[in-house]
Structure 1
Amino acid sequence: MRREELVDLNAFMTVAEEQSFTRAAAKLGTSQSTLSHTIRRLETRLNVRLLTRTTRRVSPTEAGERLLTALVPALDMISSEIASLSELSEKPSGTVRITTSEHAANTLLWPALSKLLPKYPDLHVELAVDSSLTDIVAERFDAGVRLEETIARDMIAVPIGPPLRMAVVGAPSYFERHPVPRKPQDLSHHTCINLRLPTSGGVYAWELEKGKRALRVRVDGQLTFNNVPMIRQAALGGFGLACIMEDQSAPYLADGRLVRVLEDWCPPFPGYHLYYPSRRQSSAAFRLVVEALRYRG
């Protein structure tokens, strides 16, 4: 394949991914007119239309989709091979892109990376903090970080943190007005603070478990947030009970600003894992990041 053809194919893939000539041109460092000419040249050479253009977006035609199906893994393989060349260098280099939740980024990734990066100046890490379940293959991330239960089985999953626990908590001022719940069924008589899940848009059902009995409890209250710090702030203000990660409530439990209830219904569960496709050819830089994040108990 001639170099010109490879350039044209990369231009087409970028436009299809960005769904915009403007964004694609900016990403490729060229002008829109030059990019349009490149796509027309490719379509003329293949004698088929690859992109459908409207006033709002650009999308692949059926022929374009077929080409993308073959093109994306091929170019990914080329990128992986180029990245693997860093193994020939004394120091790992390159960029590792990871999508992660805010909680995992703050408690696990940043503490590990802040120690690793000063030792490897040629290593670059991009963290995309996003609570939704991002498709790491489609979005071209090297890896993602999520709870083990949400990871597809065809992915390699590496534990990067200890087991986690949930905690049902409320402020002393709340319990001055309400009795302490002794069992999950008591929550129906309490004001609770709900979490709106970013993945499905639904409201989180509190997952409680004791022995072999597991419950998903729907709670009710005046407040619903899609942000855990806001839920905690409302709980501290006495606006209701909250179900949040144990470590997110620990300092407030220690100084008495929050009180924990139903602790025997909140057992540990597997924590955060770094996951990536099993077919991925990892670079030295990527392996270095994985080992720095790996949880060893």
Structure 2
Amino acid sequence: MRLDQLSGIVAFLKVAETKNFTRAAAELGVTPPSLSEAVKGLEERLGIRLLNRTTRSVGLTEAGAAYLARVRPAAEEIQAAGIALAEAKDRPAGTLRLSLPWIAGPLLIEPLMGKFLAAYPDIRLDLVFDDTFVDIAAVGFDAGVRIGELLDADMIALRATGALKNAVLASPAYLAEHGTPLCPADLVDHRCIAYRFSSTRTVSQWDLVEDGREYGFTPDPHFSANTMPLVVEAAAQGVGLAYTTERLASRHLHDRSLVKVLETFCPTLDPLYVYYPSRRLVPPKLRAFLNFIRAEPN
């Protein structure tokens, strides 16, 4: 179907309804000549006359009446769809699809998901955790969550957490048996627990800072897993040293089942951000999520 055929159908429907070209043109906000041309163009494309015109009246031909009977229900459905969208455009509802790295689960989603869904019962959350960067528009996500330094410059971003402080952790029992590392070079003499990426099966690098320079240590792990809570728990049980964000180990740090080592060598990373492609016509479900994050202490 051509675009100009749609305008011809609209013109035909309005003339059939009003039985008057001048009145139909006024209701559509166009001139009578342009309306007449639109109907004429539709008739020419269909190859049949739809309207009988005289200087005093306008009426449907037999073909026009049959055509009207077919297209009017479709036009009414289109109008009803527009009304329904207009009524729903400010109501947060529907499925909110988010792409997130694993770290956003415990740091962002777990603390707020119950309260958010209670506040917006017509919203459903569909969360996909993936450490690789995702083209959210191409894959059909409403928004994504990533560390700030990883975001594309053309994305709209909202800070969702505070800065992320990393730490090397160990249990007091492990340190009592194996000693405490004093500099990054000492790590090669220790048992290390590593996070392993599911997609590539590679071990996550430990980002450290030494003498003002970034230093990347890739452990040869004694224990590895693709879930960070298990990495932290293994450290708490004395398996070895682990590298993670401090907030993920807050419970163990509080009860002293884990302690920090090499603190001066551990960097602070950018916060997590919620990102989305455009400020224009942000869906109510996403707008509600963004406003909820703004209101939550992080």
Task: Return the TM-score normalized by structure 1.
Answer: 0.65
- Counterpart residue number, 2:155: 155
Deviation of the 1:199 alpha carbon? 5.0
Aligned residues of 1:192 and 1:240 also touching (Cα < 8 A): yes
- Counterpart residue number, 1:263: 263
Aligned with 2:103: secondary structure? helix
Distance in 2 (alpha carbons) for counterparts of 1:225 and 1:121: 36
Aligned residues of 2:106 and 2:248 also touching (Cα < 8 A): no
Aligned with 2:188: secondary structure? helix
Distance in 1 (alpha carbons) for counterparts of 2:97 and 2:86: 16
- Counterpart residue number, 1:286: 286
Distance in 2 (alpha carbons) for counterparts of 1:113 and 1:193: 30
Distance in 1 (alpha carbons) for counterparts of 2:122 and 2:209: 46
Query: Cα–Cα, structure 1 residues 120 and 224, in superposed 2: closer, same or farther, change >3 Å?
Result: closer
1:245 alignment partner AA: T
Aligned with 1:274: secondary structure? strand
Query: Cα–Cα, structure 1 residues 116 and 228, in superposed 2: closer, same or farther, change >3 Å?
Result: closer
Deviation of the 1:161 alpha carbon? 0.7
Aligned residues of 2:148 and 2:271 also touching (Cα < 8 A): yes
Rg comparison, structure with higher value: 2
- Counterpart residue number, 2:243: 243
Cα-to-partner distance string for 1:144-199 (whole Å, 9 max, x where unaligned): 11111222222222111111111101112211222211111111221111221235
Distance in 1 (alpha carbons) for counterparts of 2:162 and 2:208: 19
- Counterpart residue number, 1:173: 173
- Counterpart residue number, 1:95: 95
1:103 alignment partner AA: I
Query: Cα–Cα, structure 1 residues 105 and 87, in superposed 2: closer, same or farther, change >3 Å?
Result: farther
Aligned with 1:251: secondary structure? helix
Query: Cα–Cα, structure 1 residues 120 and 236, in superposed 2: closer, same or farther, change >3 Å?
Result: closer
Aligned residues of 1:86 and 1:92 also touching (Cα < 8 A): no
- Counterpart residue number, 1:124: 124
Aligned with 1:117: secondary structure? helix
Aligned residues of 2:101 and 2:130 also touching (Cα < 8 A): yes
Aligned residues of 1:194 and 1:242 also touching (Cα < 8 A): yes
Distance in 1 (alpha carbons) for counterparts of 2:252 and 2:129: 25
Aligned with 1:235: secondary structure? helix
Distance in 1 (alpha carbons) for counterparts of 2:221 and 2:126: 38
Aligned residues of 1:198 and 1:226 also touching (Cα < 8 A): yes
Distance in 2 (alpha carbons) for counterparts of 1:101 and 1:259: 26
Which sections of structure 1, spanning at least 5 residues, go unmatched? 3-80
How big is the alpha-carbon RMSD for the aligned residues of Structure 1 and Structure 2?
2.7
Query: Cα–Cα, structure 1 residues 119 and 257, in superposed 2: closer, same or farther, change >3 Å?
Result: closer
Query: Cα–Cα, structure 1 residues 194 and 120, in superposed 2: closer, same or farther, change >3 Å?
Result: closer
Distance in 1 (alpha carbons) for counterparts of 2:196 and 2:86: 43
Number of aligned positions between the proteins: 218
